[in-house]
A and B are shown apart, each in its own frame.
Chain A
Amino acid sequence: DAGVTQSPTHLIKTRGQQVTLRCSPKSGHDTVSWYQQALGQGPQFIFQYYEEEERQRGNFPDRFSGHQFPNYSSELNVNALLLGDSALYLCASSLPATSESYEQYFGPGTRLTVT
């Protein structure tokens, strides 16, 4: 058990709706990253939060936004849902980056289905 928790586990939404996914990092970790994984593909980086700020961002539109709270937990928000947003959304936590630290701990993911 990696210690990262995500909620909900499954979610069904309709096109155009908005969704919020939640993540609690592993104890002692202060950096949270979000990934989108479509069926049959590897996870794709969405963004990373550290000290309550977005530190890095992948190639995702502004419909994808996030937040990190003082307790290091994080939310991923997706507005104006499209059918193509259907995927497994993964949260990963890690210690502050160093040149040698490349280990991230992933949660079980939230399966989002957009109909």
Chain B
Amino acid sequence: LAKTTQPISMDSYEGQEVNITCSHNNIATNDYITWYQQFPSQGPRFIIQGYKTKVTNEVASLFIPADRKSSTLSLPRVSLSDTAVYYCLVGDGYSTLTFGKGTMLLVSP
């Protein structure tokens, strides 16, 4: 399974755009990139998944460069309720989910 590296923590203010970058240098051809969000004492929640280029849904965008060795989760205009831990995962649908420590995002007023 490809290992991922992401910042331990990030700080932002309400209304700003937040970009969290994840490195996955040994990503395999069949691997997808998936991001989960987790609030304290709750289970992780799927945010977005992509394979290449850009994917956008109602809550976030995912940017993947051509070499796919990294990816960036973009959260537009964050609010206090976006304070959470964000996990980047790499694998195919047959792989079990392997979580790292994630990125703790703190949004302040």
Contacts and interface: CB of A to CB of B under 8 A. Distances in A.
Interface string A32-56: 0101000011111100100000001
Contacts of B46: 103-105
* Interface SS of chain A: loop
A10 to B, nearest CB: 10
A35 B97 CA distance: 9
B96 A33 contact: yes
Interface in B71-91: 87, 89, 91
A102 B92 contact: yes
Nearest to B98: A45
A111 to B, nearest CB: 7
Given A99-B30, A102-B49, A43 B96 contact: no
Contact of A41 (B94, B96, B101): B101
Given A45-B98, A58-B96, A97-B94, A103 B43 contact: no
A111 B42 CA distance: 10
Nearest to B99: A42
Interface string B42-61: 11111001000000000000
A111 B40 CA distance: 12
B100 A42 contact: yes
A35 to B, nearest CB: 8
Nearest to B94: A97
Interface in A56-114: 56, 58, 88, 90-92, 97-109, 111
27 contacts: A2-B45, A4-B43, A35-B97, A41-B101, A42-B101, A43-B44, A43-B99, A44-B99, A45-B97, A48-B96, A56-B96, A58-B96, A88-B41, A92-B97, A99-B94, A100-B93, A102-B49, A103-B46, A104-B46, A104-B97, A106-B43, A106-B45, A107-B43, A108-B42, A109-B41, A109-B42, A111-B41
Given A43-B44, A102-B95, 13 more contacts: A2-B43, A2-B45, A35-B97, A40-B101, A42-B99, A43-B99, A100-B32, A104-B97, A105-B46, A106-B42, A106-B45, A108-B42, A109-B42
